[in-house]
Amino acid sequence: MNTGFLHGARLPVALILLVLAAGCASVPQSSQQHEADSNDLVQPPLPVPRLDLFQSRADVPSFDELTRLTPAQERQFFDWFNAPERVAVKPHRRIADYLETLLADVTFDDQTRGAADVLASRHGNCLSLALVTTAISRVAGVDTDWKLTTRNPVYSSDDGVVYSANHVHTRLFDPTYETRPGQITLRRPHVLVDYFSQRPKSGGFTLKHHQIIALTYQNLAAEAIADGDLDSSFHLSLKGLEHDPANPELYNILGLLHKRKGAWNTAEAYYRHALDVGGERLVTLRNLERLLLARGREAEARNVARRIVALPDSDPFPLIKLGDEALQRGHIQIALNYYTRARDLAPYLHEIHARIATVRFRQGRLGLARKSMREALERAGVSDKSKYKKIGKYPDLAKSTWP
């Protein structure tokens, strides 16, 4: 779910044809580990979810439902796809051309929607548009896959939930491509569909089908937390784990949910299981540290804090706190230094960009302040956008926005 556009901005769909020749390539060790099939891994014992704390939900959509078009939408597609003037174009290119037209007037928002809902409402996020691409390609008989370029962890900070951005793009494979005798093809010719960039990149790693499904439920579960619907988030998380029991973010979400419900033993078990499955992760370590501190287990919390410090990427939140303290003391440049370091670690956190905008306003550098406020707007949820928009119109308000 890339947040590189303002709410209400139009979504350009960037397309690039990649015709890849046969050749040799080595897969980095990290990619090999990530792409190992979760069914082949020996998983540690699962925590037992507290079903008694969450109301049942019968409305959890299946992935097939999320990637299904209405009959009218299918007819519209096939009328365009099978038009005589287009039949000479390869099927995967025709789909790409159709998407470029179809999604031109879709408005970005921060909700994950199924394919049919996106086309009916003309709203959606990056993952929603990947679901549209998958749905259309499926009815046309064209193979696709997804590439994930940025992780989508869920952070817990002072019992609030802070979301990072997750960018997905889709590859449409040429169904007419055939391997010649004796030829080894590492990657098939394809069109890369990137929903937020005029220059799509081919980086990231490929998701297997079960990981795609789990990622979709991960997004839905995180959004349900933001909406205060813990029951739906709980059942969406469990649904995602049915498809990918090696997804550490889903265990982290379940930890957050059980902590919110006061089941701290189960929350701790889920955090520790997420670490067992996914390795040392800042997201989960920070949540575990906070839980241990809240339970008065300070020595254990200090051990977790040392594990956090040892990670290659440090935690942005202490830097934000130090910046706030410096700003309160009137040390504007020191505060800016802390905020800039935090931004470099976590550029997806809108609060950091808003704080930098505040400092720039106080320095009288209005151009840089407006630029940072635009960055904050692009990454903020709906509830924060109105505040940031107001500050953008009335810069003096920024002086009292943060400490």
Q: Tens digits of per-residue pLDDT, 161-187? A: 655 555 788 999 999 888 778 777 667
Q: Please, which contacts does 78-86 make with residues 24 or more away whose CB atoms are closer than 8 Å?
A: 78/139, 81/140
Dist CA 73 CA 87 (whole Å):
20
Select from 3.40.1030.10, 3.40.50.1820, 3.40.50.920, 1.25.40.10 the CATH code of 316-400. 1.25.40.10
**Structure confidence at residue 26 as a pLDDT band (50, 70, 90):** very low
Dist CA 57 CA 238 (whole Å):
11
Q: Taking 50 as the threshold, does the pLDDT of residue 6 lie above it?
A: no
Question: Average model confidence (pLDDT) for the chain?
Answer: 79
What is the pLDDT at residue 54? 96
| Residues paired with residue 206 on neighbouring β-strands, in sequence order | 147
Can you tell me the mean pLDDT for 390-399?
A: 51
363-382 per-position pLDDT tens digit: 999 889 888 888 888 877 66
**Structure confidence at residue 2 as a pLDDT band (50, 70, 90):** very low
Dist CA 320 CA 318 (whole Å):
5
Taken in order 6, 67, 153, 205, the sign of the CA dihedral is negative
Cα 317 vs. chain centroid, distance in angstroms?
Answer: 20
136-159 per-position pLDDT tens digit: 999 999 999 998 875 444 555 545
Dist CA 193 CA 129 (whole Å):
10
82-91 per-position pLDDT tens digit: 999 999 999 9
CATH 1.25.40.10 residue ranges for the chain: 316-400
Q: Taking 70 as the threshold, does the pLDDT of residue 29 lie above it?
A: no
Dist CA 229 CA 144 (whole Å):
32
What is the pLDDT at residue 326? 86
What is the pLDDT at residue 350? 86
123 close to 109: Cβ distance less than 8 angstroms: yes
Question: 0.75 cut: is pTM over it?
Answer: no
